[in-house]
Structure formats: C-alpha cells, structure tokens
Amino acid sequence: MAAVFNIRCLGFAVLIVVVGVLTSRDNGVSCQQQGCEGDIQGLISQCAQYVLKEGPKTPPSQGCCDVVKKADVPCICQHVTPAIEALVSVEKVIYVADYCGKALPRGTKCGSKH
C-alpha cells in the first residue's frame, strides 16, 4: 500500500513540476506560443506515469495514446529542459511516442537526446 501511495505522490509531483515548466514563460515565450499543438495538460495527466524516470518502461494506455496522436511531439521535445529531464525519462518519452504511432523523425532532438 505504501509503495502505491508513494508512486502516486511522485506522479502528482512530476505533474505539477512539468505543468509549471511547460506553461511558464521562458524569455517571455511559452511552449504553446511557439506553435506546439496538442493538449499539453492532457499529455501530462494521461502520460506522466509512463515517462517518469522511476519504474519500468510500460506500454501507455489508450488515453495516453489518444492525446499523443494529437500532439506535436517534435515541437514539445524542443522545450524539454534539464529540469524536466531530472524527473522524466526522455527515452520513455520516445518509446511512448513510437508506441502510440507518433515516432519522432530520425535526428530529432528531444531534450538532451537525439
């Protein structure tokens, strides 16, 4: 029981941090102002548990894939900061995108990964 509670708390904490980072202004321009399409908050709420650094790589839910399919993943990847990478596994992000049918084009940079 305690392990499940800790994972949920960690997931919620990551959700709060990622929402804050993605919606905050960096030099006066937010991710959405840069033209990244998709439901950023939906991505976070539906997919956060599949991209946390902690835990195994697991296939995402249909709800997560539904949101990923509507997102401009390469654009969002351009805005992955070291603060986000401290909590989120970019390798898992790439895995989830691929699993959901939105594989990143070859050579795309996502955070610190190519």
Q: What is the pLDDT of residues 30-73, one digit of tens each?
A: 444 356 778 788 888 999 999 999 889 999 999 999 999 999 88
- 7 lies in some domain: no
Q: What is the C-alpha to C-alpha distance for residues 73 and 78, in angstroms, rounded to an integer?
A: 9
- 82 lies in some domain: yes
Average model confidence (pLDDT) across the chain? 76
- 8 lies in some domain: no
- Give pLDDT, residue 35: 62
Looking at the structure of the chain, the number of domains it has is: 1
What pLDDT band is residue 96 in, cutting at 50, 70 and 90? very high
* CATH number of the domain to which 83 belongs: 1.10.110.10
**pLDDT for 73-90, tens place per residue?**
888 888 888 988 898 999
Q: Which long-range contacts (CB under 8 A, 24 or more apart) does 69-72 make?
A: 69/100, 69/101, 69/102, 70/37, 70/38, 70/39, 71/36, 71/37, 71/38, 71/39, 71/40, 71/43, 71/102, 72/35, 72/36, 72/37, 72/38
- 74 lies in some domain: yes
Range of the domain at 46: 37-100
Backbone angles phi, psi at 113, to 5 degrees: -105, 150
pLDDT higher than 80, residue 8: no
- 110 lies in some domain: no
Q: At 94, is the secondary structure helix, strand, or coil?
A: helix
Q: What is the C-alpha to C-alpha distance for residues 89 and 34, in angstroms, rounded to an integer?
A: 23
User: Residue 7 has which token pair?
Assistant: 């994972």
- Give pLDDT, residue 70: 92
